[in-house]
Amino acid sequence: MTRLHWVRHGPTHARGMVGWSDLPADLSDSAAIAQLSDYLPGDAPVISSDLARAVTTADAIARDRPRLPHDPDLREINFGAWEMRHSDEIEDRDRLRAYWDTPGDIAPPAGESWNAVSARVSAAADRLVAAHPGRDVIVVAHFGAILTQVQRATGLTGYETFANRIDNLSVTEIVHRGGRWRLGAINHRP
């Protein structure tokens, strides 16, 4: 059994759709960071996406844990032309509504569909399981990346999956055993 402890990075306080923009995380709540680090398995390696908000969060909770190289496949959704924009600023209302209401192959202009994000993040999760069989691994990533794995473990539709909360500095546990994925705790705040 391999357990992936998916941690959402610290808050950015940005408004709008934040995907591949490389914004810093606010890690000023040292008590929350310490609680999170204390909660996670002490000998688990830590990996993060290559975006600064995930990298610095991973560094803050790592302590003496082994630190794995950053993986760009753990990035947030690429919102393309919608990046850093509020939903009310998007001209193509039908496309925007379809993107969130029927997640699948619809993508923002120059961005990435839900299915593409899921395939990218799932490939990274598969590599982690293959490289660390029977271990705990801490994965610091993003809202959308974590939700792809919730969907994978539960079989929910994309629309149903988006109903789940994934708060900053929360932990979502996904277990891989016998070729199957199972959801443990979701959005746990230590």
User: Can you name the residues that pair with 173 across neighbouring β-strands?
Assistant: 5
Which CATH superfamily, name and number, covers 2-183? Phosphoglycerate mutase-like (3.40.50.1240)
Three-state SS for 15? Answer: coil
pLDDT, tens digit, 9 for 90 and up, residues 134-178: 999 999 999 999 999 999 999 999 999 999 999 999 999 999 999
Count CA atoms within 13 Å of residue 78 on its CB side: 16
Q: What is the DSSP letter of 172?
A: E
Tell me the domain boundaries of the chain: 2-183
Question: Residues 19-45: what's their mean pLDDT?
Answer: 97
- Using a pLDDT cut of 70, give the percent of the chain over it: 100
Segment (H or E) for 60: helix 52-62
Q: How far is residue 9's CA from residue 36's CA, in Å, rounded to a whole number?
A: 11
Question: Residues 24-32: what's their mean pLDDT?
Answer: 98
User: Can you name the residues that pair with 176 across neighbouring β-strands?
Assistant: 2, 181
Three-state SS for 173? Answer: strand
pLDDT, tens digit, 9 for 90 and up, residues 1-23: 999 999 999 999 998 999 999 99
User: Can you name the residues that pair with 183 across neighbouring β-strands?
Assistant: 174
Long-range CB contact pairs, 90-97, < 8 A, 24+: none
| Strands, sheet with 136-141, edge to edge from the N-terminal-most edge strand | 46-48, 136-141, 2-8, 171-177, 180-183
Q: Please state, as a whole number, how many other Cβ atoms lie within 10 Å of the Cβ of residue 119.
A: 13
Segment (H or E) for 127: helix 114-131
Q: At what angle do helices 30-39 and 52-62 cross, to 10 degrees?
A: 70
Comparing CA positions, the residue from 104, 79, 92 lying closest to residue 159 is: 104
